[in-house]
A and B are shown apart, each in its own frame.
Chain A
Amino acid sequence: MNLVEIAFWGLSSLAIISAIMVLISKNPVHSVLWLIAVFFAISGHYILLNAQFLAIVNLIVYAGAIMVLFLFVIMLMNLNKERDPQKNVWIKLAGAVSGGCLLMVLVSLVKQANEVNTKQVEMGIGHIGLIKTLGKVLFTDFVVPFEISSVLFLSAMVGAVVIGKKDSKLENN
């Protein structure tokens, strides 16, 4: 077992455990924190895969911006353990069992696919994960989608403002 493998298994188990903790934490704030842990683990995977740019973006966008947004909302609503709605035990069990079934089926698929089982992921080589390379590709081949994504952001911003605005009619009633 070399260093890379140790890192892989370590990060993987960290991610899975943290993901499970997201589910089972009663307090939503804890869930958010566990999710940030998952994102850190995934960023670690990105670094392992020599995709440094994505690793950093993942941290900044997800773990930084998005999760902070989640935290804000949770704290604004003053959610806590007591107010957390809980599902019926049987429904929880059904959800877990069906999820397990799905995982089982999917894993069996992977096991049956011979092509997949022979392929390797080359972790340490190549330079496509670097900002320099990705920037070139992004601003040549993918410049139009890039610009369109700015329009998407604009519309998302407008949408968020419109939805989040207090409905004056509702207030009057």
Chain B
Amino acid sequence: MPISNYIIFCLTLFTIGIVGVLVRRNAIIVFMCIELMLNAVNLLLVAFSKMHHGAAYLTDKASLVGAEAQIFVFFIMVVAAAEVSVGLAIIVMMYRNTHSIDINFLNRLKN
């Protein structure tokens, strides 16, 4: 499978995530779109890992080239889990204070 297929597929997923952030006002959906972008990147990392591994595998069957990328993906998932817990806590707090999860409420950056 050509690597460009994977790249374009992941870019598409990533862009859908961006568009989601742009068009939705619901904070939870926006958050989910961010998760979507993270997953797109994860998949691309694994694809690249396999690409490099495939090249190294031809010369050395026991090669570990590319394993780091998958460890990376693992850590991204770890961090994402932590991020989600904090992020959802923030959203809950915001809902409690404003009775809304509209991100346009959070326009304090203006001042």
Contacts and interface: CB of A to CB of B under 8 A. Distances in A.
Nearest to B62: A127
A167 to B, nearest CB: 8
Contacts of A45: 43, 46
Contacts of A22: 16, 20, 29, 32-33, 36
Interface of B: 1-9, 11-13, 15-20, 22-26, 28-29, 31-33, 35-36, 39, 42-43, 46-47, 49-51, 53-54, 57, 64-68, 70-71, 73-75, 77-86, 88-93, 95-97, 100-102, 104
Contact of A164 (B15, B23, B81, B92): B92
Contact of A128 (B1, B32, B53): B53
Given A121-B51, A123-B1, 14 more contacts: A19-B36, A23-B16, A28-B29, A32-B32, A35-B36, A51-B46, A61-B77, A61-B80, A62-B35, A85-B25, A117-B2, A128-B67, A152-B79, A157-B85
Nearest to A119: B3
Interface size class of A (residues with CB under 8 A): 35 or more
B17 A35 contact: no
A95 B22 contact: yes
Question: DSSP majority for the A interface?
Answer: helix
B1 A133 contact: no
A107 B6 CA distance: 12
Contact of A149 (B15, B46, B66, B79): B79
Question: DSSP majority for the B interface?
Answer: helix
A118 to B, nearest CB: 8
Nearest to B96: A166
B22 A98 contact: yes
Contacts of B42: 42, 54, 58
10 contacts: A19-B13, A23-B29, A38-B13, A42-B43, A103-B12, A122-B53, A142-B68, A142-B71, A152-B82, A164-B89
Interface string A22-65: 11000010011001001100100110011101100110011001
B88 A120 contact: no
A116 B61 CA distance: 24
A70 B89 CA distance: 11
A91 interface: yes
A160 B20 contact: no
Interface in A65-105: 65-66, 69-70, 73-74, 76-77, 79, 84-87, 91-92, 94-96, 98-100, 102-103
